Amino acid sequence: MKMQWQDTSPLFSVIIPVYNRERYIARAVESVLQQSFKDYELIIVDDGSTDNTPNVIKKYPATIIHQPNLGVSVARNRGIQAAQGKFIALLDSDDEWKKNHLAHHAQFFTNYPDYKIHQTDEIWIRNGKFLNKKKIHLKKGGRIFYDSLHLCLISPSAVAIKRELFNEIGFFREDFAVCEDYELWLRITKRYPVGYTPIATVIKYGGHSDQLSRKYYAMDRWRIKAMLPFCIDPKVVEIALKKCQILLQGAMKHQNREILEEFMPIYEQLLQKHKVFAG
């Protein structure tokens, strides 16, 4: 089907949040500028970088927003609020797109205009080496809420979202230190199916020391918090309870009183709900 878009505003608003990524940001930005599909605006949100990042990004044809170091969620939200496009396409500052990335998003939304979110596949590179994905990490489309409870099945760099959806669902949680994307995907996938094109258009890099997943201990503490609003569902309670048990076992082993004090009451509440649902 031929793509026809009548709106005079850009179709995509590409948003790159960045903090102290002078080594990687040029690669990410240039992968946007090299897209075969050109109907987009580029917004770069500098989250208070203290290295040479501001000097690197200022040479590019982009809307550049500077803010104090408030975190990736605040940066993404600031970019979304400034966006003019019909769709929001996110890109992490250490990843890059292949030239056909936006074209695949545009084609999907042309073919399936009722969808509100779409993702492509990605290639993983860790410490400079290609990484084979395990079966559990394979991306998928459709109604994936329950599958998404176990781990994050949507990557920010691979997704495009109708801008209007943020008015309905809300923005990234700014009080989440990590797993802020996981939390948003749960809110979206609970209500809507996810479109999926099984073509790798994203190169996702991992292994460097400044990644949030390496900075924060016990990622499941944030996943459990993200699940709590959905714990009127027995399936969600069962998964949250298992994650909470594992988290508390680790906290007891490492004598982490902070996690024990926070999650022991949550565990007791989940256990009580589980008993009620079990009859």
156-209: per-residue pLDDT in tens? Answer: 999 999 999 999 999 999 999 899 999 999 999 999 999 999 999 999 998 755
Total-model pTM = 0.92
Tens digit of each residue's pLDDT (9 = 90 or more) over 136-151: 888 999 999 999 999 8
Q: Which residues pair with 123 in a beta bridge?
A: 203
**Per-residue pLDDT for 213 more than 90?**
no
User: Percent of the chain, pLDDT > 90?
Assistant: 86
- CA 92, CA 96: separation in Å to the nearest integer? 8
The domains found in the chain, sorted by start residue, are 12-215 (3.90.550.10), 220-278 (no CATH)
pLDDT of residue 40: 98
Q: Binning pLDDT at 50, 70 and 90, where does residue 5 land?
A: very low
Residue among 225, 248, 252, 227 at smallest CA distance from 237 = 227
How far apart (Å, rounded) are the C-alpha atoms in residues 188 and 191? 6
What mean pLDDT value characterizes the chain?
Answer: 93
DSSP 144-212: -HHHHHHS----GGGEEEETHHHHHH----TT-SS-HHHHHHHHHHHHS-BEEEEEEEEEEEE--TT-H
Number of Cβ within 10 Å of residue 84's Cβ equals 13
Flag whether pLDDT at 128 surpasses 70: yes
Which single residue is written with the structure tokens 């027995």? 234
Say if residues 124 and 133 touch (Cβ distance below 8 Å).
Answer: yes
pLDDT band at 218 (very low <50, low <70, confident <90, very high): confident
pLDDT value of residue 208: 58
Contact 66, 47 (CB under 8 A): no
- The DSSP code sequence of 66-114 is EE-S--HHHHHHHHHHH--SSEEEE--TT-EE-TTHHHHHHHHHHH-TT
